[in-house]
Copies of this chain bind each other. A is one copy, B any other.
Amino acid sequence: MSACSVAVVMGSRSDWPIMGSAVEVLEQLGVTVHAEVVSAHRTPLRLAEFAAGAEAAGYQVLIAGAGGAAHLPGMLAAQTLVPVIGVPIPATALAGMDAMLSIAQMPAGVPVATMAIGKPGAVNAGLFAAAMLASQQPAVAAALRQRREDAAAGVLAQPDPRQEVS
């Protein structure tokens, strides 16, 4: 069994600049993360094996990023009961709209929790996964609460928009 409660997978190594944000957020919140390239289209057997073993590996949440036809999140969700969060990657000429629809428009029966397109979505995937763990991990709950308070404080401390963006 893995020491990690969250796995972040992505369809291609080129998705890392975006999906790395999910990993980074989770690690900042004290969650250990397994990261792996699992391609729905190039390694469907590995995908099936990964999904089938997700529960036994101890993953409580899966985060999957993919662009274009973006089958990875949905095919994971079809093969495990561990909740899956999907992040649409803007990897084609259609700016991620294709990936968003491919991830969000799942049929009744197999949910995928879709986040925003690109880096904001990857950050939020990390935060949502942490929130799912928070009910059982007080330290994660506290870190999340702190992060949100810091975000508010950051705005409130400098409410004048004329100041330079750092």
**A residues adjacent to B (C-beta < 8 A):** 10-16, 19-20, 35-46, 48, 60, 67-71, 74-75, 77-79, 81-83, 85, 90, 92-120, 123-125, 127-128, 131-132, 134-136, 141, 144-145, 148, 151-152, 154-156, 158-163, 165
> How many monomers of this protein are in the complex?
8
Known contacts being A111-B128, A116-B68, is A37 close to B102, with CB within 8 Å?
Answer: no
User: How far apart are the CA atoms of A44 and B107 in the complex, in Å?
Assistant: 14
Given contacts A41-B107, A109-B151, 19 further A-B contacts (CB under 8 A): A35-B160, A37-B155, A39-B155, A42-B110, A42-B151, A42-B154, A43-B156, A46-B155, A69-B104, A69-B107, A92-B116, A98-B102, A101-B101, A105-B116, A106-B115, A106-B120, A111-B124, A135-B136, A136-B136
Complex: A98 Cα to B14 Cα, angstroms: 24
Query: Which 5 pairs of residues, A with B, have the shortest CB-CB distance?
Result: A113-B113, A111-B124, A108-B123, A108-B120, A111-B128
Q: Is the CB of A117 within 8 A of B134?
A: no
Give the distance in Å from the alpha carbon of A94 to the alpha carbon of B101 in the complex.
9
Contact status B160-A37, CB under 8 Å? yes
CA distance A2 to B121 in the complex (A): 32
A71 CB to closest chain B CB, in angstroms? 5
Chain B residues, CB < 8 A from A134: 81
Q: Which residue of B lies closest to A101 (CB)?
A: B98
Contacts of A20 in B (CB 8 A): 161-162
Chain B residues in 8 Å Cβ range of A48: 44, 48
